[in-house]
Amino acid sequence: MSQLFDAMPDPYEQWFLTPLGAVIKQLELDLIMQLVQPQPGEHILDAGCGSGIFTEPLVTAGASITGIDVSRPMLEWAEKRLPEQQFLAADICDLPFADGHFDKTVSITALEFIEDAQRAMDEMWRVTKPGGLMVVATLNGKSPWAARRKAKAAADKDSLFNHAWFRTPQELAELMSVSGEIHTAIHFEKDADPDTAVQVEAQALANGEDSGAFLIGCWRKP
The CATH architecture of the domain made up of 2-220 is: 3-Layer(aba) Sandwich (3.40)
pLDDT of residue 5: 52
Handedness of CA 31, 32, 34, 35 (dihedral sign): positive
Strand order of the sheet with strand 64-69?
A: 86-89, 64-69, 43-47, 102-108, 128-139, 214-220, 181-185
Q: Per-domain residue ranges for the chain?
A: 2-220
Blockwise average pLDDT, block size 10, the chain, 222 residues: 52 84 95 98 97 96 97 92 97 98 97 96 98 98 89 77 90 98 95 94 95 97 98
pTM above 0.75, yes or no: yes
**What is the Cα–Cα distance from 10 to 2, expressed in whole angstroms?**
16
pLDDT of residue 1: 52
pLDDT of residue 150: 83
pLDDT of residue 151: 83
pLDDT of residue 157: 78
Assess contact for 172 and 142: CB atoms under 8 A.
Answer: no
Which of these, 35, 206, 186, 5, lies nearest to 113 by C-alpha position?
5
pLDDT of residue 38: 98
Q: Tens digits of per-residue pLDDT, 16-57? A: 889 999 999 999 999 999 999 999 999 999 999 999 999 999
Q: What does pLDDT average to over the chain?
A: 92
